[in-house]
Amino acid sequence: MNGMLDPSTPSSKTSSHTLSITMIVRNEEQTLPRALDSIREAADEIIIVDTGSTDRTIDIACSYGAHVIRVPWHDHFSEARNKALEAARGTWILTIDADEWIPAEDIKLLRQLLNDPSVSAYFVHVISFVGPNGEKKALNRTIRLFQNDPAHRYEGRIHEQIALSIQRHNPQAKFAISPLRLFHDGYLNDVVQSKHKIERNIALIRQMIREDPENSFHTFNLGVEYMRAGRWQEAQSALDAALAKLPPGISYAHLLYKYRLLVAMNLGKTEDAENILQEALSLFADYTDLWHIQGDLARRKGDVKQAYASYLKALTLGPAPAPYHTEIGVGSYLTAQALGEIAEQIGDERLAIAYYSRALMIEPSYTPVRERLRSLLNRSERFSPV
């Protein structure tokens, strides 16, 4: 692979369609090899836009045969991404970041997705490892794989979107949800802090708000950044402002309510949290995460009966369906764990063992439940009658 496709040479892949991988990078020498290793077998070309690296990023990209384009950074993610799209020659484009990677078992699926010309763009499952050690995983379905067309371009200074341009070009465009997974660890606490991502993002979002003050999406994203920084009062103000100008039927509304609820809980505003929760459930009754959070809220209040009922509702619903943003494990092993903990609290060890066992059946590698289950089983064996 030598960066750009040779249009006179058939693709070396089994599909008749060709795939361009596009990335924007700056000082990504630590994670770029992992990203490129994960996609090199699927890619017909790799286009990398570098916005000012001073480390070995460009050398690494070139060693993988990528076509590297150097551009100045103008505080505008869409501008940089679109430079990569302009250079892409494949019939399809997959956009990834240097802190993301595709699991090897999904590469065949990726190539298969290219064979349906009726689809304009695919949502993929972006699974982000979050928290101090990546112990939690968040699932967000977002458009990353789309047909290459000059009309398909990103919009927005930050948190850039491509769906609007696709829809404007073709109001009948078909968007499909694929099972393709992208893993992402750029939200781990140490990574965020080391790269000063929050400060950068807040500055860019504030600029977007100045340019488009009535856009609820920008204010919502500002609230999210304040949440990441632990600036809960500022997060509340931003999310309240986003709610006040929220257009009807907007795709991120469920997440706005969920985050506003979590902010209230972090501020210790129980009554505020309960009011938001009831409003959210009236709008999104099938959103599993809300029922799980209702269980968390009830446990904080010491209402074990309500907590059990809420978690049971979440487990019955199962993982939140598309297009909801969700924490992986909610509606499955995390919720079963919560039910097991409540069973222990009320002294029903047999029920606790049943729920912990269920959690492990769903996620066998989940260590906290395995250790708790082992402790309970050992204790029950010690006190079993001979």
Last residue of a domain, one of 155, 190, 225: 190
Domain contains 279: yes
**pLDDT at residue 8 tops 60:** no
Rounded Cα–Cα distance for residues 65 and 243 (Å): 46
Q: Which of 190, 223, 243 is the last residue of a domain?
A: 190
Q: What is the mean pLDDT of residues 204-209?
A: 97
In which domain, by residue range, is 269 found?
191-382
Claim to verify: residue 232 and residue 179 sit in the same structural domain: no
What pLDDT sits at residue 197?
Answer: 86
Phi/psi zone of residue 339: left (φ > 0), alpha (ψ -120 to 50 degrees), beta? alpha
Instruction: List pLDDT tens digits, range 343-360.
Output: 999 999 999 999 999 999
As a whole number, mean pLDDT of residues 20-28 equals 98
Phi-psi category of residue 302: left, alpha or beta, with phi > 0 → left and psi -120 to 50 → alpha: left
Task: Write out pLDDT tens, residues 167-188.
Answer: 999 999 999 999 999 999 987 7
Cβ 253 vs Cβ 280: under 8 Å: no
Across the range 250-267, mean pLDDT stands at 98
* Domain match, 36 and 181 both: yes
Mean pLDDT, rounded, for 38-51: 98
Are residues 232 and 136 located together in one domain of the fold? no
Is residue 377 within 8 Å of residue 353, measured between CB atoms? Answer: yes
Q: Is residue 7 part of a domain?
A: no
- Could you tell me the CATH number of the domain that includes residue 232? 1.25.40.10
Q: Are residues 128 and 208 in the same domain?
A: no
Average pLDDT on 43-65 reads 98
Query: What is the pLDDT at residue 196?
Result: 83
Name the nearest CA neighbour of 138 among 148, 123, 127: 127
- For 28, residues 6+ apart whose C-beta sits below 8 A from its C-beta are 53, 55, 57, 98, 99
State pLDDT tens for residues 91-142.
999 999 999 999 999 999 999 999 999 999 999 999 999 877 777 899 999 9
- Cis, bond preceding 321 (omega within 30 deg of 0): no
Residues 6+ apart with CB under 8 A from 183: 100, 101, 102, 103, 127, 129
- Whether residue 4 is contained in a domain is answered as no
CA gap 237, 350 in Å, rounded:
45
Residues forming a β-bridge with 123: 143, 177
pLDDT at 382: 56
Alpha-carbon Rg of the chain, whole angstroms?
23
* Same domain for 360 and 230: yes
Please check the confidence at residue 152 and state whether its pLDDT lies above 90: yes
- The answer to whether residues 314 and 239 belong to one domain is yes
Residue 1 in this model has a pLDDT that exceeds 50: no
Q: What percent of the chain has pLDDT over 90?
A: 88
The mean pLDDT of the chain is 93
Give, in order, the Cα–Cα distances in Å from 171 to each of 33, 119, 154, 323, 324. 38, 13, 17, 20, 23
- The encoded tokens of residue 134 equal 């990546």
What is the secondary structure of 12-33 as a DSSP string? Answer: SSSSSS-EEEEEEESS-TTTHH
Q: What is the mean pLDDT of residues 251-264?
A: 98
Cα distance between residue 260 and residue 315, in whole Å: 23
Residue where a domain stops, chosen among 170, 190, 210: 190
% pLDDT > 70, the chain: 93
Give the span between the Cα atoms of 158 and 139, in whole angstroms.
Answer: 20
CA distance 229 to 79: 26
Mean pLDDT of the region 272-278:
98
Give the C-alpha separation, 60 to 360, whole Å. 40
Is 209 a member of any domain? yes
pLDDT at 170: 97
Is 8 part of any domain?
A: no
Do residues 28 and 1 make contact, with C-beta atoms less than 8 angstroms apart? no
Q: What is the CATH number of the domain that holds 43?
A: 3.90.550.10
Contact at 8 Å (CB) between 66 and 48?
yes
The answer on 350 and 275 residing in a single domain is: yes
Total number of domains in the chain: 2
Looking at residue 194, its pLDDT comes to: 56
* Helix boundaries (H) for the chain: 32-39, 57-63, 77-87, 107-113, 163-169, 189-194, 197-211, 216-228, 232-244, 253-266, 270-283, 288-301, 304-317, 333-345, 349-362, 367-382
Confidence of residue 80 (pLDDT cuts 50, 70, 90): very high
Q: Are residues 297 and 232 in the same domain?
A: yes
Domain annotation covers residue 361: yes
Q: Are strands 121-130 and 175-184 parallel, antiparallel or unpaired?
A: parallel
Say yes or no: 160 and 285 in one domain.
Answer: no
In a domain, 360, yes or no: yes
pLDDT of residue 386: 37
pLDDT at residue 11 in the model: 44
Kindly tell me if the per-residue pLDDT of 338 is higher than 60: yes
Whether 211 and 185 map to the same domain: the answer is no
d(CA 60, CA 87) in angstroms, rounded, equals 19
306 shares a domain with 213: yes
- Whether 285 and 356 map to the same domain: the answer is yes
Question: Is 292 inside any structural domain?
Answer: yes
Is residue 77 within 8 Å of 158, Cβ to Cβ?
yes
What is the pLDDT, as a whole number, of residue 366? 93
Q: Tell me how far apart the terminal alpha carbons of the chain are, to the nearest angstrom.
A: 70
Cα–Cα distance measured from residue 213 to residue 210, given in angstroms and rounded to the nearest whole number? 6
